[in-house]
Amino acid sequence: MKTHLTRRHFLRSTSAIIALPALESIGFQAFAAHRADAPVKRLVCIGANLGLHTPALYPAKAGADYEMTPSLAPLKELRNDFTLFSGLDHRAGGGHPNWPNFLCGKNTGEISFDQRVAARIGENTRFQSLVLTAGANDCTPMSYLKGAIALPAIERPSVLYKKLFASVSDRARTEYLLKSGRSALDFVMQDANALQKSVSSYDRAKLEEYFTSLRDVEARIGRQLSRVNDVVPTVKYELPAADPVANNLMVELETIHYDLMALALQTDSTRVISMVLPSGSQTFKVDGKMLQYGYHNASHHGNDPDKIAALTAIDRENLRCLAAFISKIKAARDEQDRSLLDSSIILFGTGMGDASRHSNTDLPAIVAGGGFKHGRHLRFTQESVEREQRLLGDLFISIERRLGIESSSFCAASHGLDDVLL
């Protein structure tokens, strides 16, 4: 039977509907495996959807003798455990839709940095990666597989806790859901094979790339099924009576997620975790007082001093939560009785350089742990000769290398930052 093609075509099964990428036939225009002896084995990526107010974040001086700024103040006791980067970006377009460029590089929807790493170092743990959000996330997702497949993020701590430390009955339900999902993909792939016979050669190649991503998803489900009956760690952690998912409880939610992230790393349940700090209608209480402006409103400050003060206070709260997480990881021990921070890399950053101007240039980043040379503010500039300029992708290259992954490029970046980090 001839497949009818429309401008909005879907693959359907009894339990799944998957939208196809844009195809010209439907009216549109046309490294090496992870080393077992790698000194660092874990990666955590935290992305602030609305960026940070860099005038309150960046020190006036670069180097090791910089002065702590108001936003960096919560990290004061960890000064020698992290590095602040300024002047790096992906040379990507501006606007909110491009904020996921933080981990994707120049093109939103490319496989994101966390998932690129997870594909290399995540196969020997119960979960190849975990993707979280500290609140309702109305923005574009941060983590993508190949083929622009966005990974859904877990918001509720109770859901994350059950995923990590499931009871026997929970695991039985998970096994049922995983099997159902894989069956749905089987039906979808049958539909896909029929569709490929009805499109142009250009679209067949494009579909093949897209279906490769679907097969990656199916492989992930298969790996999860193979480990569904693994011994689940027992931990002593008491969840709150209710998930703190209200718009005015983002800090509480963020804190619990960080606690569970630390437990996930300590129990080796996963080695790759990413979390979005979202930009919906979140409001913040600081020092017992509700701020006058919500997160999104404050970020679009238009140089209003009251809004800037609110945004700086929010940044400081987010970095206070980050500091507590880094301290927790630093105090924990890994399998070789080292500080867990020595065998982990924590990346905090954003794809939004200035939300008020919708600018995606100069993306601030903080990197902790991993045995890098820390205690400095590293400032980069676009004023040098283009071939010598450093991009945010150069930082990612060095992180991958530190994780035991052979890496020579990320998007347009090809230098790495080994010369200043090691």
Give the CA dihedral 121, 127, 128, 133, nearest 10 degrees. Answer: -120
State the SS3 of 91-141. CCCCCHHHCCHHHHCCCCCCCCHHHHHHHHHCCCCCCCCEEEECCCCCCCC
The SS3 call for residue 398 is helix
**Cβ-contact 295, 282 below 8 angstroms:** yes
C-alpha to C-alpha distance for 349 and 358, rounded to whole angstroms: 16
| pLDDT level of residue 36 (50, 70, 90 thresholds) | very low
pLDDT tens digits along 69-104: 999 999 999 999 999 999 999 988 777 778 888 999
Q: Which residue has the higher pLDDT, 322 or 50?
A: 322
Strand partners, 48: 277
Task: Write down the pLDDT at residue 190.
Answer: 66
Taking the whole predicted model, whether its pTM rises above 0.85 is answered as: no
C-alpha to C-alpha distance for 203 and 206, rounded to whole angstroms: 5
**Cβ-contact 42, 345 below 8 angstroms:** yes
CA–CA distances in Å: residue 16 to residues 83, 93, 181, 182, 374:
44, 33, 8, 10, 47
**Cβ-contact 319, 53 below 8 angstroms:** no
**114-118, 156-160, 171-175: range with lowest mean pLDDT:** 171-175
Mean pLDDT confidence for 321-347: 95
Kindly state the DSSP code that residue 395 receives in the 8-state scheme: H
CB neighbour list of residue 422: distance below 8 Å, 6 or more residues apart = 372, 373, 398
**143-157, 160-174, 239-253, 275-289: range with lowest mean pLDDT:** 160-174
C-alpha to C-alpha distance for 147 and 340, rounded to whole angstroms: 34
Residue 2 has pLDDT above 50, yes or no: no
For 52, phi then psi, to 5°, come to: -135, 155
| pLDDT level of residue 228 (50, 70, 90 thresholds) | low
**Cβ-contact 261, 269 below 8 angstroms:** no
Task: Write down the pLDDT at residue 218.
Answer: 59
| Amino acid at site 96 | H
Using N-to-C axis directions, what is the helix angle for 305-331 and 250-266, rounded to 10°? 20
